[in-house]
Amino acid sequence: MIRSNLLRLLKNTDLRIVFVAIAIILSAQLGFILSFTDTSAQAIWPPVGVAFALVLLLGYKVWPGVFIGGFITYSISFISQNILISVTSITGIALITLGLVGEILIGYLLYKKIIKNNAPFDNTASTFQFLLISLIVCLIGAATYTGSLFMIGVVDGPHFIEVFTSNYLASVTGLLLFTNLILSWVKGKTHWTYSHRNLIEITTFTGSIFIIIYFLYNKEMTVAFERSFPFIIIPFLLWAAFSASIQVATTLVVMISLFSVQITQSGLGPFVLEDVQDSLFLLQIFIMVIGISTTVLSSSVFERTEARKKIEAFNETLEDAVVKRTKELDEEIRIRKESETEIRKTNQELRKINTELDNFVYKVSHDLRAPISSILGLVNIAKYDDSENNMKDCLGQIEKSARTQDNFIKDIIELSKNSRVSVKAAEINFKSLIDDTYEQIEHAYRGAPIKPKIKIKQTNPFYSDTLRLKVIFNNLITNSIKYGKEKGGKINIDVNVHNGQADIVIEDNGIGIPKEYQSQVFDMFYRATDQNAGSGLGLYIVKETIEKLEGSVTLESEANKGTKIQFTLPNKSPEKQKS
């Protein structure tokens, strides 16, 4: 709530200007605290860094706040140095303040022109560019500051370079520390996450810092340890750059810098030299080095971490894409295989149909014309010999030829129906169906044909195509009768309905089929014997019809001992069709 209210208030330009002025005045108080007693120079000048950060965040329109805060700050500085407030000194203060505003606005323009990034520490290139801009713009402020003091007589010629250098280094350190600190916390991204390991590292780090501080303030320690402070602190800065975030790194640099200033003011540490100005220069250079190196290293680590995350995300995306594409390829391969299988199946069926069509055309032209030719020959014979006995004999032969042709036509019709008419399932009564079929066959024979012995084992209803079953039984029973023994012939029909299917066996003790012909008996127009020769379509029609009903058929036969045909049909019950 407080943060949202503060942000709402800072949308007003006037309030922003006031806020910037107050921030500069307060940060200047910290700069006065960091000044050395024997000289008016400050080791770090925070107002420059605070002003630059706020202008970058709030926009260049807040520059009046920079002027107001700077003017009040430098007025306080002049008063604290016992410089008489006069028109000349006020002019000097105004020039110094204008120099501060100038360096901030020029820095803002360079930043927007070169970096073009709200978070300058996200990559190493932006960080180097930001540091370069900092080093350049501080020259403007230092030159204006030293030149103004020289103009009003506060600084003489021999000390001009010394004052310029000291002020420049103070501005650079102030900008590096506080601009980096503010921007990193406000705009910077973090790669640091909480974990037990990080907690242990922070605890160890904090404890080590306190140990170092203790030994620095312990007068019994040797000068060597005191002088080694800059080297001892390096591992901690490396830890902050590699393990922590840019926010932690910049905060740590500020803390170390302030601590270094404090111990140097107390006459302790490695930066204390005989000359105060030399101590100040050495301290400022140390702060600049750790500020620049830690910031660059931290941004480099952050850039590497972000690059690694992007690579990992890309790899994950790539893996997902590969997995997805692999699935798509597998699906395409599966569809292609199914298509190839379907094509092969279709080709096989087409080859089969073409072969059957060739055979069909040949056999039809032969078997349909043969009875007609026979009838025409018998008619001619009857014309020349019209005796009663000859006429009866010719009529008998004509009837036989006509029946042969009629049976052949019936077989062709049954074959056509089986391939074109869809399966219509109905409940099957095997006993009634077989009896009806036998009665139709019986009428075609003058004598009493062999009557089958039927054995049916059925507990559940069985559904199939009634007309197709009649065709199957008609052909098989007819064959058993035609090729059965004249005396002592038998036909056994066993039907066993179980487990959703019907197993049917039709066995006779007729002439049988020699083994060399058994592999061809289900082919179209094939005749294994010339005895009672039919169309050669009977067993072919049986096989095609059974396959239409999704069943299977096998044959066992032995010459002069009989034939056994077994076929299995699935139950086409309505419940199974729905499931």
* pLDDT tens by residue, 59-109: 889 999 999 999 999 888 888 877 777 888 889 899 999 999 999 999 999
Look at the block and give the residue holding tokens 């007025």. Answer: 75
Residue 393 amino acid letter: D
pLDDT exceeds 50 at position 152: yes
Among residues 535, 555, 533, 559, which one has the least CA distance to residue 546? 555
Is 484 among the domain residues? yes
What b/e string do you get for 1-25 counting C-beta neighbours within 10 Å, with b at 16 or more? eeeeeeeeeeeeeeebbbbbbebbb
Read off the pTM. 0.56
Report how far residue 60's alpha carbon sits from residue 385's, in angstroms, rounded to the nearest whole number.
Answer: 135
Q: Where does a domain end: 346, 361, 376?
A: 361
Is 410 among the domain residues? no
Is 367 among the domain residues? no
Indicate if 122 and 233 belong to the same structural domain.
Answer: no
Where would I find the H helices in 483-555? 515-518, 538-548
CATH number (domain holding residue 439): 3.30.565.10
DSSP state at residue 177: I
Spatial contact of 121 and 180, defined as CB atoms under 8 Å apart: yes
What whole-number percentage of the chain has pLDDT above 70?
Answer: 76
The boundaries of the domain holding residue 233 are: 190-361
Among residues 494, 497, 504, which one has the least CA distance to residue 460? 497
Indicate if 89 and 234 belong to the same structural domain.
Answer: no
pLDDT exceeds 70 at position 215: no
Q: Can you tell me the mean pLDDT for 232-252?
A: 76
Q: Which residues, 6 or more positions from 210, have their beta carbon under 8 angstroms from its beta carbon? A: none
Indicate if 99 and 173 belong to the same structural domain.
Answer: yes
Q: Which helix (H) or strand (E) holds 347?
A: helix 276-384
Spatial contact of 370 and 536, defined as CB atoms under 8 Å apart: no
Spatial contact of 464 and 572, defined as CB atoms under 8 Å apart: yes
Query: What would the two tokens of residue 268 be?
Result: 């302790």
pLDDT exceeds 80 at position 173: yes
Indicate if 41 and 167 belong to the same structural domain.
Answer: yes
Among residues 35, 30, 77, which one has the least CA distance to residue 49? 30
CA 83 to chain CA centroid, nearest Å: 72
DSSP state at residue 61: G
CATH number (domain holding residue 112): 1.10.1760
Is 109 among the domain residues? yes
pLDDT range class, residue 339, cuts 50, 70, 90:
confident
Query: What would the two tokens of residue 358 be?
Result: 């060739």
Q: What is the pLDDT of residue 365?
A: 55
Report how far residue 376's alpha carbon sits from residue 381's, in angstroms, rounded to the nearest whole number.
Answer: 9
Indicate if 169 and 201 belong to the same structural domain.
Answer: no
Q: What is the pLDDT of residue 87?
A: 85
Q: What is the pLDDT of residue 101?
A: 93
Spatial contact of 256 and 238, defined as CB atoms under 8 Å apart: no
pLDDT range class, residue 378, cuts 50, 70, 90:
low
Q: Where does a domain end: 329, 361, 393?
A: 361
| Strand partners for 465 | 425
Report how far residue 534's alpha carbon sits from residue 482's, in angstroms, rounded to the nearest whole number.
Answer: 10
Report how far residue 107's alpha carbon sits from residue 226's, in angstroms, rounded to the nearest whole number.
Answer: 38
Report how far residue 204's alpha carbon sits from residue 57's, in angstroms, rounded to the nearest whole number.
Answer: 35
Spatial contact of 566 and 502, defined as CB atoms under 8 Å apart: no
Where would I find the H helices in 59-123? 63-80, 87-110
DSSP state at residue 42: B
pLDDT exceeds 90 at position 26: yes
DSSP-based three-state secondary structure for 86: coil
Indicate if 164 and 194 belong to the same structural domain.
Answer: no
Is 149 among the domain residues? yes
Instruction: Quote the number of domains for the chain.
Output: 3
Report how far residue 511's alpha carbon sits from residue 517's, in angstroms, rounded to the nearest whole number.
Answer: 13
Query: What would the two tokens of residue 262 be?
Result: 């404090």
Q: What is the pLDDT of residue 540?
A: 83
pLDDT range class, residue 518, cuts 50, 70, 90:
confident
Indicate if 306 and 432 belong to the same structural domain.
Answer: no
Q: Can you tell me the mean pLDDT for 365-383?
A: 64
Indicate if 538 and 464 belong to the same structural domain.
Answer: yes
Of 296 and 187, more confident = 296
Report how far residue 203's alpha carbon sits from residue 260's, in angstroms, rounded to the nearest whole number.
Answer: 22
DSSP state at residue 85: P
Among residues 124, 238, 28, which one has the least CA distance to residue 132? 124
Indicate if 269 and 169 belong to the same structural domain.
Answer: no
DSSP state at residue 550: T
pLDDT range class, residue 27, cuts 50, 70, 90:
very high
Query: What would the two tokens of residue 25 be?
Result: 């005045």
Q: Where does a domain end: 188, 223, 256?
A: 188
Q: What is the pLDDT of residue 3?
A: 42
Indicate if 71 and 143 belong to the same structural domain.
Answer: yes
Is 505 among the domain residues? yes
List Cα–Cα distances, 278 to 175, 259, 281, in angstroms: 21, 18, 5
pLDDT range class, residue 391, cuts 50, 70, 90:
confident
- How high is the mean pLDDT of the chain? 79
Query: What would the two tokens of residue 404 be?
Result: 């042969």
Is 107 among the domain residues? yes
Range of weakest confidence among 10-14, 153-157, 164-168: 10-14
Q: Is 222 left (phi over 0), alpha (psi -120 to 50) or beta?
A: beta
Indicate if 430 and 558 belong to the same structural domain.
Answer: yes
pLDDT exceeds 90 at position 227: no
pLDDT range class, residue 48, cuts 50, 70, 90:
very high
pLDDT, one tens digit per residue, over 524-566 is 666 656 555 555 677 888 888 888 888 999 988 888 888 898 9
What b/e string do you get for 307-320 counting C-beta neighbours within 10 Å, with b at 16 or more? eeeeeeeeeeeeee
Is 379 among the domain residues? no
pLDDT, one tens digit per residue, over 324-337 is 888 888 888 888 88
Q: Which helix (H) or strand (E) holds 425?
A: strand 425-427
Range of weakest confidence among 8-17, 129-138, 260-269, 417-426: 417-426
pLDDT range class, residue 367, cuts 50, 70, 90:
low
Indicate if 122 and 201 belong to the same structural domain.
Answer: no
Q: Can you tell me the mean pLDDT for 464-486?
A: 82
